[in-house]
Amino acid sequence: HDTAGRETEVVVIGAGQAGLSTAWALARQGFAPGTGFVVLDAEPRPGGAWQHRWPSLTVGTTHRVHDLPGLPLAPADDGLRVREVVPAYFADYERAFDLPVHRPVRVSAVSRTGDDRFLVRTDSGDWLADAVVNATGTWTRPFVPRYPGQELFRGRQLHTVDYRDAGEFAGRHVVVVGGGASATQLLGEISQVTSTTWVTRRPPVWREGPFDEDAGRRAVAMVEEAVREGRRPGSVVGVTGLLVSTPYIADGLRRGVLERLPMFDRITEDGVAWADGSSVRADVILWATGFRAAVGHLAPLHLRQPGGGIRMDGTHVAGEPRLHLVGYGPSASTIGANRAGQAAARQLRRLLHPAAGARS
Ligand code: FAD
């Protein structure tokens, strides 16, 4: 492999919230940019997955993007698009801390070398590293469940990642599948221009009041337990429910758009059908059915458990203190990624630079 001159202590894969907060923390822990750590990111530009969010997702309709450590995001108008605001912030952040981000570099495989290091293979040369922090998020792995008849459907099927603008659905009946924030947000927009049907596997959990810290901790603890046992992590947001006072949800409830039907049993040429004989005609099926962790490049390490997940111990893979997953499971939120990035960097400093003084 071509690894000439490409050795470093820590390779961070991904430059979203998780990768950048880890990079910042590694620098603080004394890792030198370049020889101590590099960040490899598949995107052509800064911004992580935020640069791909649909254009109508604005600062005002996003739940809350937490500041990265060390440089606050300047207050932005509610009407601005997050796909512009957040990438501009990440670009400033990378510059302000001189973070060694290499892009566009896509990691294809991570494997172990004979001398117990990691070989990180990419589409532009390989890297050798003592430790790896994987921070690749989920956006590149949209999840669409399988239903009988799916291939018969003559209309259009798309996933949240393909959504651009409600206008393209005008005059067509749209079935939106999924019980999360994306589903309710897209329903809110699409129902302004055309008719919709909402289907979810489970009845939505409506939450009246703001989410208190205790409930937040309980939700994170549930996901933590799942990944400790090697089960596939559910989303933290999925556990917390949908807040009825959120403007787009309040509006959807008032307009009757959020009347939900149970999940259909099969898909037909021109719609969806239930086992009891009922059916709904559809021109479009929009799968707002979430994502999986983008960890295909870790396959050579054989981490996958029978439960479909990776067994974790805090931020590192169980039994693998030099392989951290930040933004995975309980840290798959902007605040969780910040905390996990800092925890991972502290642990790597203790492991790789045991003589260096402690830093918080
Ligand atoms: P990403 O931002 O996805 O960054 C991962 C990076 O890794 C990308 O740049 C990607 O290109 C790169 N990458 C992937 N694979 C490879 C590879 N093989 N090689 C090299 N690079 C690779 N969370 C909140 O806390 N608040 C919110 O308001 C919020 N809103 C959301 C809205 C939507 C529509 C969605 C889908 C999610 C939202 N989330 C929100 C969750 C949010 O995505 C995460 O909290 C956070 O942005 C994830 O950061 P990340 O760094 O883990 O992933």
The tens digit of pLDDT for each residue in 302-350 reads 999 998 999 999 999 999 999 999 999 999 999 999 999 999 999 999 9
User: Per-residue confidence at 218, pLDDT binned at 50, 70, 90?
Assistant: confident
In the predicted model, is pLDDT for residue 219 greater than 90?
no
E strand or H helix at 247: helix 247-254
pLDDT confidence bin for 359, thresholds 50/70/90 = low
Q: Is the CB of 53 under 6 A from ligand 1?
A: yes
Assess whether the C-beta atom of 311 lies below 6 angstroms from ligand 1. no
pTM over 0.90: yes
Which run of H or of E encompasses 341?
helix 334-352
CA dihedral 43, 44, 45, 51 (to 10 degrees): -50
DSSP letters of 150-217? GGG--SEEEEGGG---GGGGTTS-EEEE-SSHHHHHHHHHHTTTS-EEEEESS---EE-SPPPHHHHH
Residue 53 Cα to ligand 1 middle (Å) = 10
Cα dihedral 167, 171, 173, 174, rounded to 10, equals: 0
Task: Select from 63, 101, 136 the residue to mutate for testing ligand 1; criterion: most ligand atoms less than 8 Å from CB.
Answer: 136
Cα–Cα distance, 88 to 306 (Å, whole number): 40
State in Å: Cα 318 to ligand 1 middle. 23
Q: pLDDT of 103-140, one tens digit each?
A: 999 999 999 999 999 999 999 999 999 999 999 999 99
* Structure confidence at residue 124 (pLDDT): 93
Residues in CB range of 14: below 8 A, 6 or more apart: 39, 40, 41, 42, 48, 134, 135, 136, 137, 327
Helix, coil or strand: residue 224: helix
Q: How far apart are CA 350 and CA 309, in angstroms?
A: 27
Closest residue by CA, ligand 1 atom 5: 136
How many CA atoms are closer than 13 Å to the CA of 297, on its beta-carbon side?
26
d(CA 20, CA 133): 11
Residue to mutate, 50, 58, 66, 140, ligand 1, most ligand atoms under 8 Å from C-beta:
140
Angle of helix 82-96 relative to helix 17-28, nearest 10 degrees, comes to 20
Residue 85 near residue 79, CB atoms below 8 Å: no
**Separation of 49 CA from ligand 1 center, angstroms?**
5
Nearest to 209 by CA among 241, 162, 177: 241
**14 CB within 6 A, ligand 1:** yes
Per the DSSP assignment, residues forming a β-bridge with 81 are 58
Angle at the Cα of 236 (from 132 to 162), degrees rounded to 5?
Answer: 80
Pairing between β-strand 127-134 and β-strand 7-13 as defined by DSSP bridges: parallel
Which tokens go with 229? 């046992």
Instruction: Give the ligand 1 atom nearest the CA of 326.
Output: 52
Q: pLDDT tens, 223-261?
A: 999 999 999 987 766 677 888 888 889 999 999 999 999
What is the 144 CA–ligand 1 centroid distance (Å)?
A: 18
* 170: exposed, middle or buried (Cβ count in 10 Å: 0-12, 13-18, 19+): exposed
**Greatest CA span in the chain, whole angstroms?**
70
